[in-house]
Structure 1
Amino acid sequence: MARAGLYGLLAANAVVVAVLFVRAGFGADALVLLGRLTGLYGALLMAFQLLLVARLPWLDRRIGMDRLTLWHRWTGFALLWTLLAHAVFITCGYAGMSSLDPVDQLVDLAETVEGVLRAVVALALLLVVGAVSARRARRRLAYETWHFIHLYTYVAVVLAFTHQVAAGSTFTASTAATAYWYGLWGAALTAVLAGRVVLPLWRNRRHRLRVTAVVPENDHVVSVHITGRDLHRLPARAGQFFLWRFLTRDRWWQANPYSLSAAPDGRGLRLTVKAAGDGSAALRGLRPGTRVFAEGPYGAFTALHRTRPDVLLVAGGVGVTPIRALLEELHGHAVVLYRVTAEADAVLHDELRRLALARGAELHLITGPPVPDRLAPAELARLVPDLTDRDVYVCGPPGMTAAVLRSLRELGVPRRQIHHERFSLAG
């Protein structure tokens, strides 16, 4: 229902933009008109982007942060191409009327028309963000570097909005158009302010989180224990994650996504992290008493979306952290499949074994190289004969998660019973 609502909201606003564009009139060159229309839809997509990244609890609980992030990625590329089309159409249209070449025309517009230079800077920033978000570049960048560059998107948003106010003829074509665009941008910016500034500041002021212990699990994995005030009022569930900011002198500005590795009990929180970048590697050196600023909880990978009484939990590598937390909270019979390359890589395995024994769950540790696939359809059906009668939760590296999802579809597990979170840098 929430997904349909978002699609419906975008479609309804697309119709409104088209109506306002038509009502503004067509007294211009065809290319200029196309440029204006693509610019308007670029503005709409930018506002929609803000809603997707606002981290509003209502949307997150129903859709999940990983799916919202995926939509944000594809909307971002659509936005980039739309704004490029806007720039090309506008520049070429005015160049055709003035007999200047497109480059000279763009320079002339930037020098003579208020707001155009800001738009050029905004587009350049978005091109840089788009380039570092491409898969090949993203894999080579540390999460911290990528996140820092991505923050320049907000600068681009401000510049683009002021450009629309200054140079957008459709923006001022009528009182209704002006009210619509101010209302759209106001709602989008209010959502971001509420979800990403006001709510995190209020929760952290209320709970005052601090590190109480740092426990190495093996040479590459560490668990961080955190406590605070009134944690029973923090609406966190097993399977969710936070964006953690540890307020040390050299790391206070970095926020990293890590899942809870134990079900919240109202007294403390725990995250278990594998060293995958500078931020995660530095956690081993945290000292008890370090202040913590946490944004969240986020994610729909929880028991709230269960449809069946029994469950299958599939974990890969350190993706076991939300699975271990879920096992602690879920009711009904559970089967846990834990996939690792070698037994030494099985983080929290002893905890899982004790927890499975206490809750009457089945635990299977599956070891070996990625090929052959030890979670292929035949093997899954052998290990869990009643698979189609269970909810299935999957969390692990992207390759493993994709393979398990293919196996589940091949075995006929209904889509509504499959819950997955794509795991890469988050612990």
Structure 2
Amino acid sequence: MMTTTTWEAPAQPIASPRPVRRASGVLPALWLGVVAVLALWWTGSSAAGSTPGGVLLSLGELAGLLASYLVCAQLLLVGRVPWFERGIGFDRLVAWHRSLGTSVVLLVLTHVALMIVGGSLLDGLTVWAEVPALLATQPYLWPALIGTVLFLAVGVSSARLARRRLSYELWFAVHLSIYLGIFLTFAHQVAGGTHFVASPVARGAWILLYAGTAAALLTWRVAVPLLSHRRYALRVSAVVPEAHGLASVWVQGRGLDRLEARGGQFFLVRFLTPGHRATAHPYSLSMAPTADHLRFTVGALGDHSTAVTDLRPGTRVLVEGPFGRFTADRATSDRVLLVAGGAGIGPVRALAEELLAQGRRLVVVHRARDASGLALAEEFTPSAGLAYVPLPGRRAQLGYDPLDPEHLGRLVPDLATRDVFVCGPPAMADAVARSARALGVPRSAIHREEIDS
């Protein structure tokens, strides 16, 4: 049964220890892989230092080896590998994945250019004559050329300008072609790469790297979600409009407490119905999960999220997660400011529920374009531990910015003593972070989660 939840602060606040920051071995492991690739290249590069063409070929081989290794690292970063998730957090893993994507594209282009120019110097041909010569003599180079084009297409489609113009569904389809690109280039690497032709050990290690990456993806992105689907038997139980452009999707299942989800976290949600089945989208919890229900409050930010209002009860649901570190254990003070904007009210509402249960004293500031956008407002019942401050209206209409240091300081006079959690559009999150810093909040006490609007 779905009911509106209200909260009261416990009479005696519960002391909450500072979160333990564990050193992650993920980054050192990635760098160790880079060192191993450099060692492989160095020990197998007989052409280096002999002739200009040989030097360029050797450097081109290095660029290709690094690009190939970093592609595997990219896939593992977003492969839902638990060790990576626990050590880094999904948001940072995605950021690293994107950064590595730029490096991979540049390395691939460098590899192609150096192999052509270096080969032309060694063969005594023009650059344009060297290209057909390479295609005629190098094993599996034609498939590798097609794979390289796919790599570049994925890189271009992931650029910020392209992402703004492409629908998520089209971008995702292009992104998936990276797997075909990897398959098409792999045979050329092991059959034509000098380091692998001359060394069965190096070839075996490289095959093991790719096989291990494939096994991790199949395990954590395919097998585990499917097993979880059978285990939890998730289905849509209701879709409830909350405000203009916002709706809550209630999902029913069994044994959901075993997910160990926290307020402020999100899942990758795939609704198994036409129009939704092909893609999974990140949706945050908007209430603490129970043993048989999850609730996601979704903003109409695109075709997929807008269409959730058409979901029918009984629609099967596949989830991956939970992900994210926008959680109560990051708070180090018993006083907390929560700022929400747009669809960010969902995770803020769930986070507030958990923080209040810990006995913390909260101020919730809720920004919206107008009063009709104040979703879930009725669930923030004022109490001894909770003050709810709605701030509807555009800045042009208000005549001021309610989140600038002056006005935010008036709303929350003791802000410097509080942890600040902000969830909403990037511009709003930036504004709150700047104001909090100006008002004396340490950088370590500002926690943010961005949701486009």
Q: Does the TM-score normalized on the shorter chain lie above 0.5?
A: yes
Correspondence for 1:209:
234
Contact 1:66 1:422 in 2 (8 A): no
Question: Residue in 2 aligned with 1:182?
Answer: 207
Are 2:74 and 1:74 equivalent residues in the alignment?
no
Aligned to 1:299: 324
Residue 31 (structure 2) aligns with: 11
8 Å Cα contact 1:125-1:152 kept in structure 2 = yes
**Cα distance in structure 2, aligned partners of 1:359 and 1:24:** 70
Deviation, 1:179, is: 4.1
When structure 1 is superposed on structure 2, of 57-66 and 215-224 the one drifting more is: 57-66
Alignment correspondent of 1:25: 45
Asked if residue 348 in structure 1 is aligned to residue 376 in structure 2, the reply is yes
Q: Give 1:38-187 correspondences, 5 Å limit.
A: 38-187=63-212
Distance 2:440 2:40 in 1: 47
- AA of the residue aligned to 2:41: F
User: 1:314 maps to which residue?
Assistant: 339
CA distances 1:359-393 after superposition (whole Å, capped 9, x unpaired): 72111112332464321223333322332332221
User: Once the 2 structures are TM-superposed, how far is the Cα of residue 324 of structure 1 from its aligned partner?
Assistant: 0.6
When residues 142 and 238 of structure 1 are mapped into structure 2, their CA distance, relative to the original with a 3 A threshold, is: same
Structure 1: where are the runs of 5+ without partners? none
Q: Could you tell me which residue of structure 1 aligns to residue 315 of structure 2?
A: 290
Instruction: Please name the residue that 1:391 is paired with.
Output: 419
Kindly tell me: are residues 195 and 310 of structure 1, through their superposed partners in 2, closer, same or farther at Cα, counting changes over 3 Å? farther
Once the 2 structures are TM-superposed, how far is the Cα of residue 319 of structure 1 from its aligned partner? Answer: 1.1
Name 1:366's counterpart in structure 2: 391
> What is the alpha-carbon distance in structure 2 between the residues aligned to residue 389 and residue 406 of structure 1?
16
TM-score by length of 1: 0.92
Q: Which residue of 1 aligns with 2:12?
A: none
Q: Which shows bigger deviation, 85-94 or 374-383?
A: 374-383
| 8 Å contact from structure 2 (residues 245, 373) kept in 1 | no
2:236 is paired with a residue of what secondary structure? strand
1:151 and 1:369 map into 2 onto residues whose CA distance is 39
Shift of 1:239: 1.0
Indicate the SS of the match to 2:277: coil
Counterpart-to-counterpart distance in 1, 2:196 and 2:254: 48
* Counterparts of residues 220-231 of structure 1 (less than 5 Å): 220-231=245-256
Say if 2:47 and 2:55, in contact at 8 Å, map to a contact too.
no
Q: 1:81: how far off? A: 0.4
In structure 2, the partner of 1:254 is: 279
Give 2:420's aligned amino acid.
Answer: V
- Measured in 2, the distance between the counterparts of 1:188 and 1:279 equals 30
Offset of 1:2 from its aligned partner? Answer: 6.6
**How do 1:327-346 and structure 2 match up within 5 A?**
327-330=352-355, 331=358, 332-346=360-374
CA distance in 2, matches of 1:157, 1:44: 11
Q: Which amino acid in 2 is paired with 1:131?
A: V
* Whole-Å separation in 2 of the counterparts to 1:187 and 1:244: 26
- Aligned counterparts of 1:386 and 1:115: Cα–Cα separation in 2: 66
Partner of 1:36: 61
The aligned residue for residue 245 of structure 1 is: 270
SS where residue 243 of structure 2 aligns? coil
Contact 2:254 2:291 in 1 (8 A): no
SS in 1 for 2:283: strand
Shift of 1:315: 0.8
Distance 2:132 2:394 in 1: 57
Residues 410 and 191 of structure 1, relative CA distance in 2, 3 Å threshold: farther
Secondary structure of 1:296 counterpart: strand
Partners of 2:348 and 2:32 lie apart in 1 by 39
Cα shift at 1:41: 1.0
CA offset digits 1:59-97 (Å, max 9, x no partner)? 334433222111111110111101110011001111222
Counterpart CA distance in 1 for 2:421 and 2:83 is 21
Question: Matches of 1:398 and 1:71 in 2, distance apart?
Answer: 18
**TM-aligned CA distance change 1:81 to 1:363, over 3 Å:** same
Partners of 1:63 and 1:300 within 8 A in 2: no
Aligned equivalent of 2:11: none
Output the CA distance in 2 between the equivalents of 1:187 and 1:385.
Answer: 54
Q: CA deviation at 1:24?
A: 0.8
Give 1 or 2 for the bigger CA radius of gyration.
2
1:313-348: CA deviation from partner (whole Å, max 9, x where unpaired): 111111111001111111211111111121211111
Alpha carbons 2:301, 2:452 under 8 Å: kept = no
Instruction: Give me the whole-angstrom Cα distance separating, in 1, the residues matched to 2:187 and 2:395.
Output: 51
Letter in 1 for 2:348: I
Answer whether contact 2:287 2:349 (CA < 8 A) is retained.
Answer: yes
In structure 1, distance between residues paired with 2:33 and 2:378:
53
Aligned with 2:195: secondary structure? coil
CA distance in 2, matches of 1:394, 1:62: 22
Matched residue SS, 1:50: helix
Percent of pairs with identical residues: 45
Amino acid at match of 2:47: G
Where 1:223 maps in the other structure, the secondary structure is strand
**Structure 1 residue 273: deviation in Å?**
1.4
Contact 1:239-1:302 within 8 A present in 2 as well: yes
Equivalent position of 2:6 in the other structure: none
Q: Does the residue aligned with 1:17 lie in a helix, a strand or coil? A: helix
What is the CA deviation profile of residues 293-317 of structure 1, one whole-angstrom value per residue up to 9, with x for unaligned ones?
1122211111233333322111111
What SS does the aligned partner of 2:25 have? helix
